[in-house]
Copies of this chain bind each other. A is one copy, B any other.
């Protein structure tokens, strides 16, 4: 991908920089010449960040180190992407989910407000079951809503310039999350039987390059605020996605529909999530995105 110029002066800080979207964002920013700093938990340093130009700060004690780091660095923009996802939770997950999705973000938002950094953060379509302004699918979604409400405090009272990017499903190269698109390509390659739920639920998949473009656009928009909804906009059923993967790969998938339980609160009818008008539009079609992944996968196996 060509490195389009990015109009950000001064250093930028990325949290969750060694996650799927964080890695791609760091690469894009660094290749456009932006000075990128990354906060990474010390325990996560084993996942390297691709772009060598990124300054990585390993953090052991967020409470002490995050305010100090942001205070010293004085970034222009903080991209807060760190998150701990769980489709469903057990009680033992609660402490670390709240720590990761709320406490850490509150420290980041507080420090951004104090230093005058613009904050770009991600929220989730799973906060909007049925398209409601708030109706969570999972405890994960509830913790994301909680974080949005805390950021509202800093925006309303502490002059924080904050922008929310609401993500639906995402996919793309170098995805270590082993989510649906990865799984289908894996099974296209091996031919192994694939237990599935009904497959009637919808997915709305945006390529990570388009997600990164949206984050950059929001960070450089003349006036921050409001929510930008990042979605392909053409949701399809899991069954239709399987058809597309079979078409792109030329391989039949041995899907066993109805052999896995459905998750609660899946997207059966399309959800309309309200967002601000934005010039961002997805550029990568789902077919092209999947074809690219398949080509890379096939090439890497040769």
Contact = CB atoms under 8 A, between A and B. Distances in A.
A137 to B, nearest CB: 8
A192 interface: no
A110 interface: yes
A135 to B, nearest CB: 6
Interface stretch (A101-109, A170-178, A180-188, A292-300): A101-109
A138 interface: yes
Contacts of A107: 91, 94-95
A153 B157 contact: no
26 contacts: A63-B95, A67-B91, A91-B107, A91-B114, A94-B110, A95-B107, A98-B98, A98-B102, A98-B106, A99-B103, A110-B139, A129-B156, A134-B152, A135-B152, A135-B156, A137-B157, A138-B153, A139-B153, A142-B150, A142-B153, A145-B146, A146-B146, A146-B149, A146-B150, A149-B149, A157-B264
A111 interface: yes
Interface of A: 63, 67, 91-92, 94-95, 98-99, 102-103, 106-107, 110-111, 114, 129, 134-139, 141-143, 145-147, 149-150, 152-153, 156-157, 264-265
Contacts of A137: 157
Q: Copies of this chain, how many?
A: 2
Nearest to A88: B157
A145 B152 CA distance: 11
A96 to B, nearest CB: 9
A267 to B, nearest CB: 15
Nearest to A110: B91
A134 B149 contact: yes
A149 B157 contact: no
Contacts of A106: 94, 98, 139
A112 to B, nearest CB: 12
B157 A265 contact: yes
A217 to B, nearest CB: 27
A135 B149 CA distance: 9
- Across chains A and B, which 3 residue pairs bring their CB atoms closest together, nearest first? A146-B146, A142-B153, A98-B103
Contacts of A111: 91
A47 B225 CA distance: 45
Contacts of A99: 98, 103
B139 A150 contact: yes
Contact of A63 (B63, B94, B150): B94
Listed residue (A103, A107, A114, A147) with the most chain B CB atoms within 10 angstroms of its CB: A103
A119 to B, nearest CB: 15
Contacts of A110: 91, 94, 139
A126 to B, nearest CB: 10
Contact of A143 (B95, B129, B150): B150
Contacts of A102: 98, 102, 146
Contacts of A98: 98-99, 102-103, 106
